[in-house]
């Protein structure tokens, strides 16, 4: 059981590391797009003398900020803190519908599924 727990923790750490690495890689491409879009939109706003041309920068800046916070900021630490808060103070939110699965529930499901496949 201890080995299984260690293995599960290692897999979780690797998955989290992959998620962070993916976010950082995505940020490189999105950052380039965001920079080019900013230059084009600012140039367009100046040439047309219309600041409304800059409007697409608003949602793009939110996406860029989120990705940066996820890859290099403290987003994961804040998420972890909130998850710990939920576990400590709001554990009723984590209850499964109809309660936790039991061995008997699994056996009923297994038997009903095996009958389903045998009858057909």
Distance CA 71, CA 13 (A): 15
Q: What is the pLDDT of residues 1-14, one digit of tens each?
A: 899 999 999 999 99
Residue 112 pLDDT exceeds 90: no
Q: How many CA atoms lie within 13 A of 18 on its CB side?
A: 6
Least confident window among 30-34, 97-101, 116-120: 116-120
Q: What is the pLDDT of residues 74-105, one digit of tens each?
A: 999 999 999 999 999 999 999 988 888 899 98
Backbone angles phi, psi at 90, to 5 degrees: -130, 45
CA separation, residue 44 to residues 55, 78, 79, 96 (Å): 12, 38, 39, 53
**Predicted confidence band of residue 31 (pLDDT cuts 50, 70, 90):** very high
Residue 115 pLDDT exceeds 90: no
Distance CA 41, CA 44 (A): 5
Instruction: Assess contact for 49 and 83: CB atoms under 8 A.
Output: no
Q: What is the pLDDT of residues 45-69, one digit of tens each?
A: 999 999 999 999 999 999 999 999 9
pLDDT at 42: 96
């Amino acid at each position: 059981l201890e080995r299984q727990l260690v293995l599960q923790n290692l897999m979780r750490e690797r998955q989290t590391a992959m998620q962070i690495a993916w976010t950082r890689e995505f940020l490189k491409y999105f950052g380039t797009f965001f920079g080019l879009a900013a230059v084009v939109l600012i140039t367009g706003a100046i040439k047309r003398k219309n600041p409304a041309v800059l409007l697409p920068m608003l949602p793009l800046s939110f996406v860029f900020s989120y990705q940066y916070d996820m890859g290099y900021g403290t987003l994961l630490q804040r998420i972890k803190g909130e998850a710990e808060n939920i576990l400590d103070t709001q554990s009723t939110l984590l209850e499964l519908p109809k309660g936790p699965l039991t061995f008997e529930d699994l056996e009923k499901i297994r038997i009903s599924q095996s009958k389903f496949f045998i009858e057909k």
